[in-house]
């Protein structure tokens, strides 16, 4: 997809993302309050985990999540639940409001994951997403190139209808607590 088409899609997606994120923040405020309290009671340390990520046009930004990190060996039930439902990623609604992320797009990479080639240039021409085709349709442990191929296919075909479909599939995975499963079994042609 030529860069001017990517810019046109961005202009259409931005109001959609902003409005949906604002609605999401409003509707999930009670859940945020509960998660903040539970994370604080469990760990007593920082509620949020902030990590530098690569955004659109390779601009760095701080992605925000509820803290579940540091629990890898003895992950608490709360941390497992937050990760399996993706509730740990609710704070990224703030990143969407700020224009650093979109609801749908390639997941934001950490700077060390970036490779310099044409596919990664195309991948970084769009806003990273809270969810995306690679997260919804590819096994969690799939090779990076397979995920990249799904990201590129999404970028070339992106539109609001596809975004809505991927968001709905993401909600289904969250409601079924399946984000931690290696392959969620969803199929979809891009």
Are 55 and 39 contacting, i.e. CB atoms less than 8 angstroms apart? no
pLDDT in tens, 132-151: 988 888 877 788 888 888 89
Q: What confidence score (pLDDT) does residue 72 get?
A: 55
The H-assigned helical ranges of the chain are: 3-43, 77-85, 92-97, 118-123, 133-137, 144-157, 160-175
pLDDT in tens, 46-79: 889 999 999 998 899 999 999 886 545 667 888 8
Query: What average pLDDT does this structure show over 156-184?
Result: 81
pLDDT in tens, 103-119: 999 999 888 877 777 77
DSSP 145-183: HHHHHHHHHHHHH--HHHHHHHHHHHHHHHHTT-TTSS-
pTM of the model: 0.86
């Amino acid at each position: 997809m030529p860069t001017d088409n990517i810019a046109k899609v961005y202009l259409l997606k931005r109001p959609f993302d902003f409005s949906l994120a604002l609605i999401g923040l409003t509707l999930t405020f009670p859940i945020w309050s509960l998660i903040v309290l539970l994370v604080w009671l469990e760990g007593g340390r920082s509620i949020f985990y902030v990590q530098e990520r690569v955004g659109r046009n390779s601009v760095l930004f701080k992605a925000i999540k509820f803290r579940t990190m540091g629990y890898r060996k003895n992950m608490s039930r709360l941390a497992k639940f937050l990760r399996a439902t993706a509730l740990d990623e609710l704070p990224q609604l703030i990143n969407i409001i700020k224009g650093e992320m979109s609801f749908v797009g390639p997941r934001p990479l950490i700077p060390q994951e970036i490779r310099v080639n044409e596919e990664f240039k195309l991948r970084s021409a769009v806003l990273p997403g809270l969810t995306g085709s690679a997260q919804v349709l590819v096994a969690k442990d799939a090779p990076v190139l397979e995920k990249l191929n799904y990201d590129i296919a999404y970028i070339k075909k992106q539109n609001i209808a596809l975004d809505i479909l991927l968001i709905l599939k993401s909600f289904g995975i969250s409601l079924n607590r399946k984000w931690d499963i290696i392959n969620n079994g969803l199929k979809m042609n891009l």
